[in-house]
Amino acid sequence: GAGVSQSPSNKVTEKGKDVELRCDPISGHTALYWYRQSLGQGLEFLIYFQGNSAPDKSGLPSDRFSAERTGGSVSTLTIQRTQQEDSAVYLCASSPRGSGGNNEQFFGPGTRLTVL
């Protein structure tokens, strides 16, 4: 079956511009996560959506970052007024999070963002 997909795969933008990154989770997965992976670093949690609950935004690094999830499926991560330090690979993951299931998060291939 189809895995998590993300678009675009690469995005180059100029400092100060806004960008939108898209994530299509695995069908039926109720949980969706965004992480950021900077060069040579581990993955840093950004935001987590679970069903209709209020999202966990505790990882967003500044108010320039926001995300939404429409209809419990597709999610968009928006970065306003991009800065060079925002350059990273942005990874999306989804999880079924069933009551008897585990916490396996299935990751997409990521969007590589470069801010010039």
Query: In the bound complex, what is the minimum distance in angstroms from residue 81's beta carbon to other proteins?
Result: 26
Q: Which stretch binds other proteins (CB under 8 A): 12-20, 38-46, 64-72, 74-82?
A: 38-46
Distance of alpha carbon 78 from alpha carbon 28, whole angstroms = 24
Residue 75 as a binder of other proteins (CB under 8 A): the answer is no
Residues 67 and 77: beta-carbon distance below 8 Å? yes
- Asked if 36 and 23 touch (Cβ cutoff 8 Å), the reply is no
Strands 65-69 and 75-79: antiparallel
The verdict on 95 binding other proteins (CB under 8 A) reads: yes
Q: Candidates 12-20, 37-45, 62-70, 71-79 — which segment interacts with other proteins by CB under 8 A?
A: 37-45
In b/e form, how buried is each residue of 87-114, taking b as 16+ CB within 10 angstroms? bbbbbbbbbbbeeeeeeebeebebbebe
Q: How far is the CB of 16 from other proteins (least distance, A)?
A: 28
Binding map of other proteins across residues 44-73, x = CB under 8 A, - = no contact:
xx--x-x-----x-xx--------------
108 vs 5: CA distance, rounded Å: 5
The footprint of other proteins (CB under 8 A) covers 4, 31, 33, 35, 40-45, 48, 50, 56, 58-59, 91, 93, 95, 97, 101-110
